[in-house]
């Protein structure tokens, strides 16, 4: 039998790891270098896909306790998966610069408050 609590913890840890990787991938980038580097922006988009997919497996009643536009996370994953040809790298860069830190803070808060841990499980 599935443990929804454990599933949520694991998925939140996956999200945290994906955010960490995005930050690592763009740490030495500028808007111009990010947009010009297919390898970097494809790696970033893959991690955003992981984030969007993982959030679908976090218990809704848990997410509902936190004021965050979760639908945007899911929608961005759907855009990457289904409308990839319409993605503007400048917009992705803007999401990284303005929204990713907010997501990182809320995910870390959930991990600490709900699970008493910031430690990620083995990948």
Q: Domain map of the chain by residue range?
A: 4-115
Residue 114 to residue 117: CA distance in whole angstroms: 8
Is the pLDDT score of 97 beyond 60? yes
Is the pLDDT score of 115 beyond 70? yes
pTM for the structure as a whole:
0.90
Which letter does DSSP use for residue 86 in this model?
G
pLDDT band at 5; cut points 50, 70, 90:
confident
Average pLDDT in the chain: 92
Hey, CA dihedral for 42, 68, 83, 95, is it positive or negative? negative
Burial class of residue 48, CB neighbours in 10 A (0-12, 13-18, 19+): buried
């Amino acid at each position: 039998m599935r443990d929804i609590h454990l599933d949520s913890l694991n998925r939140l840890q996956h999200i945290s790891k994906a955010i960490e990787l995005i930050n690592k991938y763009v740490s030495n980038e500028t808007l111009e270098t990010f947009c010009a580097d297919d390898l970097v922006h494809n790696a970033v988009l893959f991690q955003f896909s992981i984030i969007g997919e993982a959030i679908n497996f976090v218990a809704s009643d848990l997410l509902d306790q936190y004021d965050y536009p979760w639908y945007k996370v899911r929608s961005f994953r759907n855009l990457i998966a289904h409308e990839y040809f319409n993605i503007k790298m400048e917009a992705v860069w803007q999401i990284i610069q303005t929204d990713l830190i907010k997501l990182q803070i809320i995910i870390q808060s959930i991990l600490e408050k709900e699970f008493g841990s910031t430690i990620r499980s083995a990948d």
